[in-house]
Structure 1
Amino acid sequence: MSTSYSIRQTSSTGGSSMGLGGFGGGPSRFSSVHLENYGAPNMFGGTGGRGVSASKTRLVSGLGSGLSNGYGGDFISSFSVGGGDVFLPGGEKETMQNLNNRLASYLEKVRSLEEANTKLEIQIREWYQKQGPGPEHDYSSYYKMIEDLQNKILAANMDNARVLLQLDNAKLAADDFRTKYENELAIRMSVEADINGLRKVLDELTLYKADQEMQIESMKEELIYLKKNHEEEMNALRGQVGGRVNVEVDAAPPVDLTKILADMRNQYEIMAEKNRKDAETWFFSKSEELNREVATHAEQIQTSKSEITDLKRDLQGLEIELQTQLSMKAALEGTLAETEGRYCMQLSQIQDLISSVEAQLADLRSDMERQSYEYKVLLDVKSRLEMEIATYRRLLEGEESIASSKKDVSQTTRKVRTIIEECVDGKIVSSREQVHHSTY
């Protein structure tokens, strides 16, 4: 719907022929100024977007020179002065036409800027709607399921780690039993070697004992042989003594053979007993020494075996603990790598979000700066329009003041009738008429 105001003004002047510029003689003049609504409510706040125009029959020349620095050079003019019977001087008519063109240009510029502002607001609203959070979904029902699944995954990981640890412990125990078996086998072979060595020593001692027994037997046989010889000699001597002849011979005293044989027997028995005792003493001493050495070596071997067993047990415990720590370290490293990967992904997502928000902020800042610049331009245009409207007002008021200040010889009576019609879509809605009387 377009609304327009039409102001028609007629003036009649009566008086002597000495009026200004040929305005005497009572001719009637009619002028019309028509201004349509261009939809600029922001520029003229109190009029609701409707343009208001006023026209006088006369304007003071020189307005174009004072307002020549305008903005209407590149806009389409839509503000015109109607009525071909306006009797204005050439300079005033051109000035009026220039001002009308510039005002129309300003209104056209305001309309285009408002349309651009409306489009920009729509774009900003659409952008905020697009960038706003989407419809929120209620995932609270899945939280418990997710938590249960996470707990199950954690429990499965713990069970897997426990099974792996038990498997490693079983492998270590098998290795330990294998090592113990090898150690026991080595100890058994060492003991068998010692037993074989002791058997060799026993065989040597048995041979030595048999040799000594043979020596004893030979000495006994020799003793028996000596006894037999002694008895034979004794019997022979007794037989010789049986046919006794008393012969007295002066000779040395005879040798007592019995005593000599007894002494020899005693000496042989003493020697045999001594040799037997020496052999027994040597055998027992060697046996005791060998037993002591065997016992000492056995104790040392047993002590060494105990120490080796303790050390192996400690080594096994340390190896098990080492494997446990290594498994724990591997699990912690895997958890750390997973956590680092997850947080790196979250950090990259947050950085992407920050970059997107920063880009949006930069775009918004540039849009705000552009809108601020356009707002300043609009304020400048508004101020200039207000200045030109004020200039119109001063010109219109100045015409009356100039007309009243000039003196004329004759009295002139001027009657001005102004008809204001409001048209909506080409139809006259209301019409008002004002009549002004002025005397010169």
Structure 2
Amino acid sequence: MSCCSSSIRSGRAVRNFSSSSTALAGNRRSFSSASCHWGGGMGYRGLGYFSSRSVDGVGFSRRRTAVGRSPPPRRGYGFGAAGTGFGYRGAGFGYRVGGVSRLCTITPITVNEQLLQPLKLELDPNVQTVKYQEKEQIKTLNNKFASFIDQVRLLEQQNKVLETKWSFLQGQKHRKDTIPPALEACVGTLKKKLEALGCNRAQLETDLREAQQALETNKKMYKDECSQRTCAEGELIALKKDADCFFLNKAELQAKVESLKDEAEFLRVFHAEQTHQLRAQIADTLVVVQMDNSRDLDLGGITGDVRAQYEDIARRSRAEAQAWYENKFEELRATAGRNTDILRETKTKIAELRRSVQRLSGDVGSAKDQRCKLEAAVASAERRGERTVKDAKHKLAELEAALQQTKAELTRQLRENQELMDVKLALGTEIVTYRKLLEGEESR
């Protein structure tokens, strides 16, 4: 009789295989056989393994037979047990057959002579080789199975880790709905800031255009004033030339007047000297004229007439020269007055133009400063807007990358879980195959 048992405790399948014996009561001779001890255990959270001792008894153990005399009749007994067990996640199976043999009644011992004859065992010499090969094959399969069990243990640990991550990710799904509103609020705030910056930029661009238009107008006015100043400077140069010519003419005329005055004075002195000489000659000369006519010659009257004529001629010449010089002098004075007025007006215009140029230069400088400030403000607003948009895009890219990474991690975990399930099914199939092999070997 034989007995096979299997027990499972706390997720660990413990299986012990005891020896098997057969007792023949009622015969004078008895035979007993014992199978090799085989034992092992499977268990790590329901995952089994075979120890090195199980190599000797996995489905292919051979019974060894011993022949001898039986003990005294009242002391003969026999029991046997053989069993196997598998455990995975707390599951197992086993069978138990047989029990302790009952004590037989005392019977007379008879000797079978045929049993005393030598046995003729015709053993095949290849049986040991086949047994050794089967034993080595069983060892190889057992080692492979042990490696599979280790892999299953590792995969089970990874599966637990993945289950923990999966539960963590399932818990994060409740917070997933809160992320998009926060992101939308952040994006909405950034959009509002961007719109405000766009409005400010439009306002600044309008101010810049107005400043540029004012600058162009001031430039045009400045160019007009510069052209007018150039014309006025040309006119001033021409007036200066006319004034120089006038002063030269005035100097020439004054020189001529002085020369004419000197000439008139010389003529007057010369005329007076000649008159004086004539008077002296007349006074010193004693003329005795005897005429046969009785008329007297009035030399004093003639001399007076001649003197009067010369004086009249000199007076008229002096008056004409004086009148001509006075007219000429008045004309030159009037021309000088007009030129002086024109020069004064020109100087006034030049002063006004200079003041206008200075004022326009100040306006141009202030416009340039305002333009620089507006350009700096526009550039700063553009930089702030670009920085804000860049930060928003960077945050959005980070969130998308985190989302993609989470999806990829979830996909990888699902794939690994599927691989674990496939390995689990394959191991279950191999366990069933080993069980069938063990049952077949036990039945043999």
TM-score by length of 2: 0.43
Give the number of the structure whose residues are more often strand, by fraction.
Answer: 1
Highest RCO, 1 vs 2 (Cα 8 Å, sep ≥ 6): 1
TM-score by length of 1: 0.44
